[in-house]
Amino acid sequence: MLLDRPYHAKILLFGEYTILNGSMALAIPYDEFSGKWSFAPLDTDVARSSHEILKGFSLNHPTHDLSLELMKHDLSKGLWFDSNIPHGFGLGSSGALIAAIYEAYSVGKGNLLEDKDLLARLEDYFHGSSSGIDPLVSLINKNLLIHDFNNVSLLEKELNLSGFFLLNTGKPRNTGPLVSIYQEKMKDPEFKRGCAEILSREVNFAIRALIDNDRSNLFHHLWLISKFQWEYFPEMIPTQMRGLWSQGLETGNYVLKLCGAGGGGFILGYSDKLSQSSLGEIFSQNEFRELAAP
């Protein structure tokens, strides 16, 4: 049954790449962007493109977990997914679509992990390989604490997101090649040891500091994450952001880190020293979005 509800974007606050090697991760819904089902006339390029993508999915996705005949029936009536989540920017555009498909056409829903596994299989259609985290966040519209890929829990405690912000690099990216770069770098013993002993540890510490609202330690761990990514992930930091990234590390007024795979899309930032207006002036060349409600 098609529900008249939005499926929000998601932000991976912590755990990009390191979750592949055993660190925790923290993902949250982001309601500034969302998508929902529509039968509005297919009179725009966006509507027609969405409709064709859904048709391709219904014809080519081999699954017994969905009522594809019902989906094809709705498509014959002009169904499409009306979404303003930007593609290739790390905010889970395909995850929101998969969440909507799952809720409308799944023939059997299970527990959290079973849902995640099915959502991952469905999203594989778009990414080749999916963890299922993005669509799960969009589906349940709650914060998710990922202990590892087989241990995911709802985070009922409200997070204090003051000081966090997003910067739009203006450049879309493709996750697949960036993950391949990371996996190749992991063959270097020094890089692998650094990710295991430094980056994963700091990610876990930062997640705990945010959950505990420990603001002083939060900045400290974020600075170390930013420094590590600056030194070891240069391919993932867009060229136009490198000056701002370095400036944050040098002054300590703010820090920047990857938001998802990096390489473009959005960059995540944090400051406990500067006002949002001051940060907006520093990043005046980029779309600037604070995460906490004003």
Going from the N-terminus, what domains does the chain have, and what CATH number goes with each? 7-154 (3.30.230.10), 164-289 (3.30.70.890)
- Alpha carbons 103 and 149: distance in angstroms, whole number: 22
- Alpha carbons 92 and 90: distance in angstroms, whole number: 6
Calculated CA dihedral for residues 69, 70, 71, 72, nearest 10 degrees: 50
- Alpha carbons 124 and 98: distance in angstroms, whole number: 10
Task: Encode 274-283: b = buried (16+ Cβ within 10 Å), e = exposed.
Answer: eeeeebeebb
Tens of pLDDT along the chain (294 residues)?
A: 788 899 999 999 999 888 887 889 999 999 999 999 999 999 999 999 999 999 999 988 777 788 999 999 999 999 999 999 998 898 999 999 999 999 999 886 677 878 888 898 888 888 766 788 999 999 999 999 999 878 899 998 899 999 999 999 998 887 778 888 888 888 999 988 898 889 999 999 999 999 999 998 999 999 999 999 999 999 999 999 999 999 999 999 999 999 988 889 999 999 999 998 899 899 999 999 999 865
- Alpha carbons 29 and 11: distance in angstroms, whole number: 6
Q: Side chain identity at 238, as an amino acid letter?
A: P
Q: Which residues make beta-bridge pairs with 258?
A: 267
Asked if 101 and 71 touch (Cβ cutoff 8 Å), the reply is: yes
| N-term to C-term CA, the chain | 36
E-strand ranges in 84-196 read 144-148, 151-154, 164-168
pLDDT at 148: 84
Asked if 257 and 222 touch (Cβ cutoff 8 Å), the reply is: yes
Asked if 23 and 221 touch (Cβ cutoff 8 Å), the reply is: no
pLDDT at 149: 78
Ramachandran area for residue 260 (φ above 0: left; ψ -120 to 50: alpha; else beta):
left
Tokens 């400036």 appear where?
247
Which of 266, 265, 273, 277 is CA-nearest to residue 248? 273
H or E, element range at 29: strand 25-38
pLDDT at 258: 95
Q: What are the φ and ψ backbone dihedral angles of 270, each rounded to 5 degrees?
A: -150, 140
Asked if 213 and 160 touch (Cβ cutoff 8 Å), the reply is: yes
